[in-house]
Amino acid sequence: MHMWLSLFNATVVTSIMIFKNTGALPLVPVIISIFQAFVASFLAGLIVPAAPYGKKLALERFSCQEGTFQFAIISNMPVCLWMATVLSFLFAILNVGFSDVLLMVALSSIPLAFIISLVTTFLLTPVAMNLSNRITN
């Protein structure tokens, strides 16, 4: 399931962020950027598995019941924040390089990337689970 969510997030976040920054969706740069984002988010998710932290946050800190809307939102926040941060810094490095504005560019794109990632994850988790179950069963 992690692979599918990484792919969905990479596709949606990359497309929206490129459109926001350029006003267009050029096909080849979008495809290359989606591939870069997919690899980065997949590897980042393997290095720092934020999902257990999200579950712990929702259950212990906020006393949410599993299966509720509140649990789904709160438990996905650490994952989406991690992905938004990784993708924001990756694309800031790729687009502006290691310059004086790198930190400003990366930090300014995190809030929008986080919101897009959270909505995408929330809406497409059932699709990712269905795809994973079909492939593994």
> So where are the chain's domains?
2-136
In order, the DSSP letters of 61-119 are IS-PPTTSHHHHHHHHHHHHHHHHHHHHHHHHHHHH-SSTTHHHHHHHHHHHHHHHHHH
The pTM score is 0.84
* pLDDT tens digits, one per residue of 55-108: 999 999 999 998 888 988 899 999 999 989 999 999 889 888 899 999 998 999
Query: Which tokens go with 137?
Result: 């069963």
pLDDT at 2 over 80: no
Query: Which tokens go with 123?
Result: 């809406």
Contact 82/41 with Cβ under 8 angstroms? no
How many Å apart are CA 89 and CA 85, to the nearest integer? 6
* pLDDT tens digits, one per residue of 30-43: 999 999 999 998 89
Query: Which tokens go with 132?
Result: 């994973």
